[in-house]
A and B are shown apart, each in its own frame.
Chain A
Amino acid sequence: MSKLIFELILTRIAQGILVLLILSILIFGLLGAAGGDAVSALTDSSHTSEEIARELRRIYGLDQPFAVRYARWISDLLRGHLGYSISYQAPVGAILRPRLINTAVLAALAMAIAWVTALTLGTLAAPRAGTWIDQLCSLTVIVASSTPRLVLALLTLAFITHIPFENTRLGWFFQLMLPTFVLSVPLMAILLAQMRGRVREIYDEEFVRAARAKGFSERIILIRHVLRPSLNPLITISGYALGGLISGSVIVERVFGWPGIGHLSVTAVQSRDVPLLMGIVLVTATTVLAGNLLADIFLRLNDPRLR
């Protein structure tokens, strides 16, 4: 069993490196082909002369052909350097680290909220088809899955402008919880829908009937026999959802002014800072790939049938 998981990890890492290589060439090429770089963003806004622009391009190596720039970038990467951000005038790694932690906190809390809600509501609703709690569940799924994070974030913002919570003792709590809540809502809808469907399916399985025939209480059946197999789709979706969470954090962080990766990516795009943007794409892509791998490992740990 452990040998299989080891194999899985190795193949995934090999595939992941290939995928990252292709993606980096794609993005690098796209940014290069379109023309315009960090210096042209500079000349757009202020009165930088042609000579200065040319000199700046020479210093940052922006006048080199595409292949040379890419080769430089990748050789730097292999030595552990993510490059030098032109707009921030700092190494990309140093810019990314604190922001990555901020986003990770946000995403982890959002994931936790989504899981807890999905587990409680899902297990409560599934055996009670047609009751008010089941209908509440359906309503939550429909409304939550059709509320865009952007809309929800703006409405929340409108709501909190009327509450002067910043000066209260719980200010930090609200500042953390509001973006987290907004980030978790669409994910919660997906998890809840899956959970409810799965639990209901599993209640019809033979092994549940067997457990009932043995005389176990409903609580034991739920915890020991139903819950574990119904976690499978949730684990898989959570792995894939990391990409969605990072996309969502772009919006949420922008609206709530949370200094994370999403906030940074908009800044990088607006100033056409290629090294910074490449760093962001690389880091987020690696996170998503790692998330998928983790989900697959957890899936195998949770469900012996898949090993």
Chain B
Amino acid sequence: MKPKIIDRFVIFVRPLFRRGRGSLVAGITIVAAFYMMCIFADFLAPYDYREVSLGEPLAPPARIRFRDEEGRWRTRPFIHPQRLADPLERRYEENLQRSYSLEFFTSGYRYKIFGLTTDRHLFGVGKGDDGKTARVHLLGTDVLGRDRLSRLLLASRFSLLVGPLSTLIACVIGILIGCTAGYGRGRIDAVLMRIADTMMAFPTLVLILAARAAFPLELPPWRAATLLITIFVALGWAEMARLTRGLVMELRERDFVLAAISLGLSPARVLWRHILPNARRPLTVNALLMLPTFLLAEMALSFFGVGVQEPEASWGNILTAASEITLLERGHALILVAPAFAIMLFMIGVRLLSNGLDRDQFQDQFKDKEIATFHRPQLAPRE
């Protein structure tokens, strides 16, 4: 007989590999990979993301080489150090005489992970032929000479915290309000839903900007994060409330709920034990669809310079820093493409995940029926 814990694991994992679950598995993998990246960001980043190095502003991405000038293969990949040839134009030249080989598990700045303090980093460059040290910037540096790759890795922490956390809180509040409206019905329902409609009908970004305008621009990162989360929650609960209300109204007429009510269970218990478990799937899917909106709002605010302030990093201000026109004209497309690709990949992951869950849910109900990809709450009001 198999031990129980493995049994549970199998029950949880096996459905993922049934036919047609490709998008669910792909989605979970991508999203999980991003969160692993957040946890191990310090380890993956070669340098401190705030460390200014004025000697190398706006350096282009380093070229990793495998063969030296004479065309011989080296045992280790290496880079040539970059020298600021023209400080005014910020043009760089590679110093072909010197080379530094790429090394793994090098020592760098100290950081804490799982309560341990360590200085190991995934990669870096060792000492060169002449005993001097150099820095390797796979995505180049920004105006202040900070390593773009390290900034991108650490930025995902802020962005992937604010977006999902505000989605979560907005969902909890939305579900509570939706339950109250859907279960209470009558006047309380009318009042709550009118407010929700007001919130839903408006251009969110303009409202977020207006709300943000009410607070001072310069805020420490934790205050900024709290403020952004509060604004997003205040504007985002309505959609969830609308969907929950519709589901609760539908479910509370079902026989098993009526039976539970007639047994004398309290409304809270009926909702928690009988109604919400049956509304789990559409609620999860909708929550996953809300997530990108908040991620985008955070990015947009930082892009306009009213979100997170430097030197803290978020995907928004990384994108802004990467879209400087001089860099683009010089053809360092990689600098812009890297953060853009990271953002898109995460979005695609979330989308695949919600698609997978959605499809699953519909397949449970009607076999082989084509599903609507976008699950929107009561889009067509039928009066």
Contacts and interface: CB of A to CB of B under 8 A. Distances in A.
B206 A158 contact: no
Interface stretch (A88-96, A166-174, A175-183, A284-292): A284-292
Interface stretch (A46-54, A73-81, A144-152, A210-218): A144-152
A201 B370 contact: yes
B274 interface: no
Contact of A284 (B206, B211, B300): B206
Contacts of A268: 213
B381 interface: yes
A288 B197 CA distance: 12
A288 B374 contact: no
Interface string A74-114: 00000000000000000000000000000000000000000
Interface in A223-256: 232-233, 236-237, 240, 242-244, 246-248, 250-251, 254
A306 B380 CA distance: 10
A299 B214 contact: no
B203 A146 contact: no
A188 interface: no
B213 A148 contact: no
B210 A31 contact: yes
B366 to A, nearest CB: 11
Interface string B302-318: 01111000000000100
Contact of B210 (A161, A242, A269, A289): A269
Interface in B11-29: none
A193 interface: yes
B203 A244 contact: yes
A147 B344 CA distance: 6
B292 A146 contact: yes
B374 A194 contact: yes
Contacts of B382: 306
Interface stretch (B102-110, B258-266, B325-333): B325-333
A283 to B, nearest CB: 10
A246 B348 contact: no
B205 A251 contact: yes
A151 B343 contact: yes
B206 A193 contact: no
B323 interface: yes
A243 B238 CA distance: 15
Contact of A246 (B206, B216, B295, B331): B206
A281 B372 contact: no
A251 B300 contact: yes
Contacts of A142: 348, 351-352, 355
B60 to A, nearest CB: 15
Contact of A30 (B198, B210, B316): B210
A27 B213 CA distance: 10
A280 interface: yes
A242 B337 CA distance: 29
B373 interface: yes
Contacts of A161: 325, 328-329
B292 A288 contact: no
B296 interface: yes
A96 B352 CA distance: 41
A71 interface: no
B340 interface: yes
A268 B206 CA distance: 11
Given A148-B292, A243-B203, A266 B340 contact: no
B240 interface: no
B299 to A, nearest CB: 6
A64 to B, nearest CB: 18
A31 B213 contact: yes
B256 interface: no
Contacts of B328: 157-158, 161
Contact of A193 (B304, B322, B373, B383): B373
Interface string B182-205: 000000000000100110111111
Given A148-B347, A232-B380, A266 B304 contact: yes
Given A33-B214, A296-B381, A148 B201 contact: no
Contacts of B44: none
Contacts of B299: 148, 150
A270 B292 CA distance: 25
B18 to A, nearest CB: 19
Given A146-B347, A197-B371, A243-B204, A265 B209 contact: yes
A1 B350 CA distance: 44
B85 interface: no
A154 B336 contact: yes
A27 B200 CA distance: 15
A22 interface: yes
B207 interface: yes
Contacts of A200: 370
B271 to A, nearest CB: 28
A121 interface: no
B379 interface: yes
A26 to B, nearest CB: 9
Contacts of B216: 36
Nearest to A149: B296
28 contacts: A19-B201, A27-B207, A30-B211, A30-B214, A34-B213, A148-B299, A148-B343, A154-B336, A155-B337, A157-B323, A161-B329, A162-B331, A194-B372, A200-B370, A240-B200, A244-B203, A244-B204, A247-B203, A250-B205, A250-B206, A254-B304, A262-B206, A266-B209, A269-B304, A277-B213, A285-B203, A288-B202, A296-B381
List 3 tightest A-B contacts by C-beta distance, closest first: A34-B214, A146-B347, A247-B205
Given A146-B350, A197-B372, 11 more contacts: A15-B194, A148-B296, A148-B344, A151-B343, A198-B372, A243-B203, A250-B206, A251-B303, A270-B213, A284-B206, A306-B383
Interface of B: 194, 197-198, 200-207, 209-216, 292, 295-296, 299-300, 303-306, 316, 319, 322-323, 325, 328-329, 331, 333, 336-337, 340, 343-344, 347-348, 350-352, 355, 370-374, 376, 379-383
